[in-house]
Structure 1
Amino acid sequence: MEHFSTGRLTAERLHEAHLADLVALHRDADVSRYLGGVRTPEVTKTYLATNMAHWDQHGFGLWTLRTQDGAFAGRAGIRHILVDDVDEIEIAYAFKREFWGLGFASEIASALTDFGLSHLELPSLIGIVYTGNGASRRVLEKSSYLLERSTIRHGEDVVIYRKRR
């Protein structure tokens, strides 16, 4: 599914034309504080290539998100990720600051969860959240993810939430 829509967002499969939007998103310190820190344009270019390759390998991945008026809002997706040496499939999302607190994260988390568990028939999905990121924790809890455990990722304390089919 290269395109889909929610009530207020349209999603498009990640491709090269999205680089400038991603660079701007990843350079925002507030947005990036729970994504491992601000990323240089070069790191974001590698990130883009890695995530486009994920699509080619798995048939799903990250989408860019736009509002109904066409404004770039952020990115979100479903992807394989190695957590404590276990291949997991996570939902992930990041929004520009101007879209925080408006329910967009809950909207996209619900859509990604439905797509992953129903359409892709994955056995489960996880969400990885920095321990201090209360907003993202609430988003996952609203989507019926259950707190599974704590771990350390890239030197930071995180919690793993899981939802099973």
Structure 2
Amino acid sequence: MNEDVLVTDRLALRQMTLTDVDHLMTIFTDPEAMVHYPGTKSETETKKWIQWQLGLYQQTGAGLWIVEDKETKTFLGQCGLVPQHVEGKDEVEIGYLFARHAWGNGYATEAASACRDFAINDLGQKRLISLIAPLNYPSIRVAERIGMTKEKRILTWGKEILVYSLCDSS
């Protein structure tokens, strides 16, 4: 069994495996959950997504992790640290995407907070970002709750995206 990367009061975050395809498909095939993304994903695209994460774990020591209820091991979503190239600069993004059944429980904020702390305390990151669609108000609220502020609007992926950021001054 995959050991947990991060643990919070209610959540366990662990590395993805190819056995997580069905879990991720509950998000990736849900048009409402994917409304702020280019579109839903097929099973083949989901497998490629997992392979990308497995590569990130090897290359960077991080990536998006599966988020589960710590007690029941119920799949809730994914959250983690993703390298992004924004306006010519390499950045580290805190990304999060949860299954609809998990919305409204504070799981994204709890998981994103753990990822923020891991990035700063364990990986030595001084700056973190989140890239958020302008109308994705729940994601904006999560970014704000973990201490991020809106920095700017950029054009990427063929659309306007908000860059939220947090700089560690310690």
TM-score of the pair, normalised by structure 2:
0.91
Select which of 54, 61, 64 maps to 2:63: 61
Match status 1:116 vs 2:107: no
Secondary structure of 1:136's aligned partner:
helix
Select which of 132, 143, 154 maps to 2:157: 154
8 Å Cα contact 2:53-2:63 kept in structure 1: yes
Unaligned segments of structure 2, at least 5 residues: none
CA shift, 1:6, in A, is: 1.0
Secondary structure of 1:82's aligned partner:
strand
Cα deviation code 1:82-111 (max 9, x no counterpart) = 223321110001111111111111111111
- Distance, in Å, in 2 between the alignment partners of 1:26 and 1:84 is 27
Cα deviation code 1:112-163 (max 9, x no counterpart) = 1111111111121100100001111111111111211101222222100111
Counterpart of 1:82 in structure 2 is 85
- Distance, in Å, in 2 between the alignment partners of 1:63 and 1:147 is 25
- Distance, in Å, in 1 between the alignment partners of 2:37 and 2:117 is 24
CA shift, 1:20, in A, is: 1.8
Counterpart amino acid of residue 93 in structure 1: Y
Percent of pairs with identical residues: 27
- Distance, in Å, in 2 between the alignment partners of 1:50 and 1:95 is 18
- Distance, in Å, in 1 between the alignment partners of 2:5 and 2:92 is 20
Counterpart of 1:105 in structure 2 is 108
CA shift, 1:19, in A, is: 1.7
- Distance, in Å, in 2 between the alignment partners of 1:50 and 1:4 is 20
Secondary structure of 1:64's aligned partner:
strand
Counterpart of 2:15 in structure 1 is 13
Cα deviation code 1:47-66 (max 9, x no counterpart) = 11111101111111121011
Select which of 23, 26, 45 maps to 1:24: 26
CA shift, 1:2, in A, is: 5.1
- Distance, in Å, in 2 between the alignment partners of 1:2 and 1:86 is 31
Unaligned segments of structure 1, at least 5 residues: none
Select which of 137, 140, 145 maps to 1:137: 140
Name whichever structure is richer in helix by fraction.
Answer: 1
CA shift, 1:23, in A, is: 2.1
Of the structure 1 ranges 35-44 and 128-137, higher mean CA displacement relative to structure 2 is found in 35-44
Counterpart of 1:52 in structure 2 is 54
TM-score of the pair, normalised by structure 1:
0.94
